[in-house]
Amino acid sequence: MARFDGGTVPDGKARPLLTTMDRCIGHHLARAAAAFGGEDHVRTALALKVADHAAVFSKLHTDKALDLHAAIDPRLVLSCEAQDLDKMLGTCLTMPANGRASGSS
């Protein structure tokens, strides 16, 4: 097992993992920076994404009698990429649909 001592990895076994982690963190930091401005500023309409997810989850979980509805101003946009919002909404809807949360709305 590699030990970290003063920023070094004596046996080098952890180097590939550290390289992968560094690349992944850098990727997400760059995406976050782009979401807040500059030429690559990304904006995603929230109401449309929520409506899409609610429709899909209602069809997927017909046996659970889900009551999904949201009143969201259609002008509301988020500074994030659509795929990131899809992941967040999927998680928020999956937990109550699978009975892992109660009182969720």
Residues β-bridged to residue 45: 77
Tokens for 48?
């449309």
How many domains would you assign to the chain? 1
**Residue 27 counted as domain residue:** no
Say which amino acid occupies 40: D
Tell me which residue range forms the domain holding 56. Answer: 44-95
Instruction: Please report, in tens digits, the pLDDT of each residue of the chain (105 residues total).
Output: 444 445 555 566 777 877 888 888 888 777 777 666 655 667 889 999 999 988 888 888 778 777 777 899 999 988 878 888 898 888 887 766 666 544 444
Half-sphere exposure of 82 (CA within 13 A, CB side): 7
- Residue holding tokens 């004596």? 10
User: Residue 64 carries which DSSP code?
Assistant: G
